């Protein structure tokens, strides 16, 4: 009892400034966890010092040394948790990610026109309201769909990984760059992970590579793309869902304007690259009017695109959690129709996809974006996306 009394007196004589310090709280909390009776006396003294605080208010400022141990993170979740924060801006934070592999084999029940995928980043800052790839953050134990666009993970040592892993790609297996993230999102300006990957592809020959992006930043790498195309089969797919700038701004809040993407198509076409326009996803009731789609196909043809393809909206639960509130705010008259059409499914009924496929086929013929009219020259990817994604449309 005497020893305890001495400790109380020492604490009372500590200056107020010191009592507010984190070090002081840390030491006293640790001591209290080892000697509960001493902690009780400390709590009593605290009430005398700070009578306006409740017990919960006071204890919330202390480290919880006795909290239950959290489940151990494994795999990609552990790597993400260990990532170092390297920059933060307008509610977006960037982290390093020590990737163990860069090439991922595509596993899907649908017939996909590629075998391997490469995603230089995890997450995408463009924040497209309809984005299907939000589920990829769930592998890192992040279940809030908004974290996909707020926490961007920058993969490390990608060129070295690619150099090793390209050995397992067989001759007829295509590689898609940018299937679950945009390889030219704002992070690429600073970290240049995609550019490093392209620089590695320049050193190889005989591969089939397709790049998917919404960004005109891709023209920065025009010379690299030309070098790759000289020894490999290359195609670039620029996503444009609408030419309406105001609509694009709310659908794809931080992606480049549609006219900038069109100009990127024009630049790459003039440079001799095989480039096309992806009208995916076609958003029912919002971007699927015949006039909107015809404007897109006509503009793509005028810009020199080799092809145009379209897919209906694919709405996974993690995407619906973000997209449906967006609808309620901007298109409330469509909410009930969406709930009915996408109830218990991620795809629309097959009839919608067939109507869309028929319309796009007619527009391609009208504006001479068919195989018959396609220009020749150079080595270009011929397997995807035109043939492959036409086949997909028939599955919806």
* Residue 70 within a domain: no
Q: Is the domain of 53 the same as that of 95?
A: no
* Residue 154 within a domain: yes
Q: Is the domain of 11 the same as that of 98?
A: no
Q: Is the domain of 139 the same as that of 224?
A: yes
Distance (Å, whole) CA 285 – CA 247: 13
Q: Is the domain of 136 the same as that of 90?
A: yes
Distance (Å, whole) CA 84 – CA 72: 19
Q: Is the domain of 54 the same as that of 79?
A: no
- Burial class for 335, CB neighbours closer than 10 Å (0-12, 13-18, 19+): middle
Task: Quote the pLDDT of residue 181.
Answer: 94
What is the side-by-side order of every strand in the sheet holding 208-213? 103-105, 116-118, 174-177, 208-213, 233-239, 275-278, 308-309
- Give the residue from 59, 92, 108 where a domain finishes: 59
pLDDT tens across the length of the chain (396 residues): 444 444 434 343 434 334 333 433 343 344 444 444 444 333 434 343 333 333 333 222 223 323 334 455 545 455 545 555 545 445 899 999 988 899 999 876 666 788 999 999 999 999 999 999 888 857 677 777 788 899 999 999 999 999 999 999 998 899 999 999 999 999 999 999 999 999 999 999 999 999 999 999 999 999 999 999 999 999 999 999 999 999 999 999 999 999 999 999 999 999 999 999 999 999 999 999 999 999 999 999 999 999 999 999 999 888 999 999 999 999 999 999 999 999 888 999 899 999 999 999 999 999 999 876 665 544 444 444 443 333 333 322
* Residue 21 within a domain: yes
Q: Which of 289, 313, 310, 396 is nearest to 361 (CA)?
A: 310
* Residue 65 within a domain: no
Q: Which run of H or of E encompasses 234?
A: strand 233-239
- Domain holding 33, by residue range, is 2-59
Task: Quote the pLDDT of residue 28.
Answer: 39
| DSSP three-state, residue 278 | strand
Which CATH number goes with the domain that contains 298? 3.20.20.70
| DSSP three-state, residue 332 | helix
* Residue 68 within a domain: no
Distance (Å, whole) CA 130 – CA 315: 7
Task: Quote the pLDDT of residue 90.
Answer: 59
Q: Is the domain of 54 the same as that of 110?
A: no
Residue 235, Cβ neighbours under 10 Å: how many?
A: 25
pLDDT digits (tens, 9 = 90+) for 28-68: 344 444 444 444 333 434 343 333 333 333 222 223 323 33
* Residue 304 within a domain: yes
pTM of the model: 0.73
Name every residue whose Cβ is closer than 8 Å to that of residue 110 and which is 6 or more positions away in sequence.
392, 395
Q: Which two structure tokens, joined as six digits, stand for 55?
A: 């017990």
Distance (Å, whole) CA 6 – CA 42: 12
Q: Is the domain of 41 the same as that of 101?
A: no
The owner of tokens 């995609």 is: 194
User: Cα–chain-centroid distance for residue 130?
Assistant: 11
Q: Is the domain of 373 the same as that of 226?
A: yes
Distance (Å, whole) CA 178 – CA 310: 17
* Residue 66 within a domain: no
Q: Is the domain of 286 the same as that of 389?
A: yes
Q: Is the domain of 121 the same as that of 185?
A: yes
Q: Is the domain of 22 the same as that of 168?
A: no
Q: Is the domain of 45 the same as that of 131?
A: no
Distance (Å, whole) CA 150 – CA 35: 43
The domain tally of the chain equals: 2
Task: Quote the pLDDT of residue 246.
Answer: 97
């Amino acid at each position: 009892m005497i020893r305890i009394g001495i400790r109380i007196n020492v604490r009372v004589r500590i200056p107020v400034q010191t009592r507010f310090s984190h070090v002081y709280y840390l030491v006293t909390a640790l001591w209290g966890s080892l000697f509960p009776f001493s902690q009780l006396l400390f709590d009593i003294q605290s009430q005398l010092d700070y009578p306006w605080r409740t017990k919960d208010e006071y204890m919330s400022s202390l480290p919880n040394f006795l909290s239950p141990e959290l489940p151990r993170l494994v795999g990609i979740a552990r790597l993400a948790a260990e990532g170092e924060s390297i920059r933060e801006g307008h509610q977006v934070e960037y982290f390093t990610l020590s990737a163990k592999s860069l090439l991922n084999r595509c596993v899907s029940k649908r017939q996909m026109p590629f075998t391997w995928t490469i995603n230089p980043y995890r997450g995408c800052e463009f924040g497209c309201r309809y984005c299907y790839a939000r589920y990829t953050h769930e592998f890192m134990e992040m279940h809030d769909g908004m974290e996909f666009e707020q926490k961007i993970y920058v993969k490390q040592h990608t060129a070295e990984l690619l150099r090793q892993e390209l050995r397992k790609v067989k001759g007829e297996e295509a590689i898609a760059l940018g299937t679950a993230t945009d390889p030219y999102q704002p992070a690429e300006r600073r970290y240049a992970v995609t550019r490093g990957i392209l620089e590695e592809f320049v050193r190889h020959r005989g591969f089939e590579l397709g790049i998917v992006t919404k960004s005109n930043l891709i023209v920065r790498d025009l010379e690299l793309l030309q070098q790759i195309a000289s020894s490999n089969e290359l195609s670039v797919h620029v996503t444009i869902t609408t030419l309406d700038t105001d609509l694009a701004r709310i659908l794809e809040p931080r992606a480049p304007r549609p006219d900038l993407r069109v100009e990127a198509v024009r630049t790459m076409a003039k440079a001799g690259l095989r480039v096309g326009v992806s009208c995916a996803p076609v958003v029912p009731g919002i971007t699927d009017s015949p006039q909107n789609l015809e404007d897109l196909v006509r503009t793509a043809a005028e810009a020199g695109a080799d092809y145009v393809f379209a897919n209906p909206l694919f709405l996974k639960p993690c995407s619906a959690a973000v997209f449906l509130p967006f609808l309620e705010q901007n298109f409330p008259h469509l909410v009930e129709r969406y709930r009915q059409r996408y109830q218990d499914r991620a795809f629309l009924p097959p009839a919608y996809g067939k109507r869309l496929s028929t319309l796009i086929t007619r527009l391609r013929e009208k504006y001479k974006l068919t195989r018959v009219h396609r220009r020749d020259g150079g080595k270009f990817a011929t397997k995807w996306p035109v043939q492959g994604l036409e086949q997909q449309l028939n599955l919806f």
